């Protein structure tokens, strides 16, 4: 067993090394060391653009880009627009933002991973704040983030159906189910039960789903695939809203009484505390959204910046040093990937538990003898 663990450790190190090397190679492809004068400035700009591209959603899935030839290795995703009718075509027609697409007399241009309506020249106008002022059609496209969320959903479906089938064959799971079972029991016994109480079974399915969904997406974000789903604030907002609606629709009378007319508090204070409690209903999901988004985005930025410094300095001292720092941060990111999934699940269970908790309305009268312990 010890030999197997050692082999798994070295395999994980090898995969991490390949991942970081691939990302560094992609960064290096965008730099031209033969340039003189402003070469360093250009390289820094290219690195900044690469980091922004890595963090942003896209209509393409790129595995590797060649800065010298301009070649992209990957595949295009379908574009689904609603603009006085449904329009479906491949994002490959944009040629990574270089070409216009004309459909039914209307021209569309991709600019910074967003699709705008333009004239025949592809002109982008800007408002006083420096943002594009062109009209945008309703975009229901299957973007890179959407694709990976669908893939993770399918993966989770097969993982848990396989685990369920293995339990039908015996009391102990088989094969990959042995890996899933401790995690499932941990979420049930250490997160759901202590924080929700006797009604924990009703919400365990949601907690398991959100835990594995966030964790797997976080792990995918550490691969060369350029995935940053949990670093997209729209995704974290959607996850936080799901928790918010579950909490509100599950809240019992004690929950709503505590918010609008807190028991055991003088009535003037109740009037003051009620708006604060209502505001707290919205700050809880907001904290869920920001915490997951900020932590995962910060991790990606740090890793990509350290890799970019290798390209900027381009010498035998800075290269190994920054690469070592990158490996160290990547190991920490493995912990953060699990920790953020755990924290989001734990806080969701805590908020649900506060909503479904039953309070004892019995208050001793003034003339009752209260036992002293």
What average pLDDT does the chain have?
Answer: 79
At 303-346, the pLDDT tens digits run 878 777 777 777 777 778 878 888 888 888 889 999 999 999 99
User: Which residue reads 């995918």 in tokens?
Assistant: 220
Same domain, 111 and 180: no
Same domain, 171 and 128: no
Q: Where among 119, 141, 163 does a domain terminate?
A: 141
- Give the per-residue pLDDT at 35: 36
Same domain, 110 and 184: no
User: Considering the entire predicted model, what is its pTM?
Assistant: 0.80
At 62-92, the pLDDT tens digits run 776 655 555 667 788 899 998 888 988 888 8
* Residue at 36 is within a domain: no
Same domain, 227 and 328: yes
* Residue at 20 is within a domain: no
Same domain, 232 and 343: yes
Same domain, 195 and 89: no
* Residue at 7 is within a domain: no
For residue 236, pLDDT beyond 80: yes
At 166-209, the pLDDT tens digits run 877 777 777 777 888 889 999 999 999 999 988 899 999 999 99
Q: Phi and psi (nearest 5°) for 222?
A: -95, 5
Q: Where among 86, 116, 141 does a domain terminate?
A: 141
- Give the per-residue pLDDT at 29: 46
Identify the domain containing residue 84 by its residue range.
Answer: 78-141
The angle subtended at Cα 143 by Cα 342 and Cα 227, nearest 5°, is 40
At 103-141, the pLDDT tens digits run 888 889 888 788 888 888 888 888 887 788 888 888 899
Same domain, 85 and 198: no
DSSP string, 77-124: -EEEEESSSEEEEEGGGGTTTTS-EEETTEEEEEETTEEEEE-TT---
Q: Mean pLDDT across the stretch 283-310?
A: 86
Same domain, 241 and 260: yes
Q: State how far the Cα of 213 lies from the Cα of 333, in Å rounded to an integer.
A: 17
* Residue at 214 is within a domain: yes
Largest CA distance in the chain: 91
- Give the per-residue pLDDT at 366: 43
Q: Mean pLDDT across the stretch 14-23?
A: 47
* Residue at 299 is within a domain: yes
Helix axes 318-356, 201-220, angle to 10 degrees: 170
Same domain, 215 and 90: no
Same domain, 121 and 151: no
Same domain, 213 and 280: yes
* Residue at 33 is within a domain: no
Higher pLDDT, 355 or 308: 355
């Amino acid at each position: 067993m010890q030999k197997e663990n050692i082999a798994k450790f070295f395999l994980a190190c090898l995969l991490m090394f390949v991942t970081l090397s691939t990302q560094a190679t992609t960064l290096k492809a965008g730099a031209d060391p033969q340039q003189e004068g402003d070469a360093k400035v250009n390289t820094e700009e290219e690195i900044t653009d690469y980091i922004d591209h890595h963090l942003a959603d896209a209509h393409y899935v790129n595995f590797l880009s060649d800065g010298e030839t301009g070649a992209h290795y990957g595949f295009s995703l379908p574009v689904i627009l609603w603009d006085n009718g449904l329009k479906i075509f491949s994002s490959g027609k944009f040629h990574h933002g270089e070409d216009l697409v004309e459909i039914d007399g209307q021209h569309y241009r991709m600019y910074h991973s967003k699709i705008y309506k333009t004239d025949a020249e592809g002109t982008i106008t800007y408002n006083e704040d420096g943002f594009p002022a062109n009209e945008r059609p309703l975009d229901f496209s299957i973007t890179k983030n959407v694709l990976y969320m669908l893939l993770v959903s399918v993966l989770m479906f097969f993982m848990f159906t396989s685990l369920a089938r293995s339990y039908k064959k015996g009391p102990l799971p088989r094969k990959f189910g042995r890996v899933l079972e401790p995690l499932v029991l941990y979420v049930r016994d250490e997160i759901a039960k202590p924080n929700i109480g006797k009604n924990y079974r009703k919400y365990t399915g949601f907690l398991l789903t959100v835990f594995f969904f966030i964790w797997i997406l976080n792990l995918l974000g550490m691969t060369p695939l350029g995935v940053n789903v949990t670093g997209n604030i729209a995704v974290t907002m959607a996850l936080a809203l799901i928790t918010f609606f579950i909490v509100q629709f599950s809240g019992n009378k004690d929950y709503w009484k505590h918010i609008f007319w807190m028991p055991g508090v003088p009535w003037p204070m109740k009037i003051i505390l009620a708006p604060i409690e209502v505001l707290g209903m919205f700050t809880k999901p907001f904290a869920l959204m920001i915490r997951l988004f900020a932590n995962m985005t910060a991790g990606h930025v740090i890793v990509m910046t350290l890799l970019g410094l290798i390209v900027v300095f381009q010498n035998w001292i800075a290269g190994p040093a920054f690469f070592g720092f990158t490996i160290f941060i990547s190991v920490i990111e493995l912990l953060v990937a699990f920790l953020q999934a755990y924290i989001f699940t734990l806080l969701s269970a805590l908020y649900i538990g506060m909503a479904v908790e039953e309070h004892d309305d019995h208050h001793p009268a003034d003339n009752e003898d209260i036992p002293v312990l």
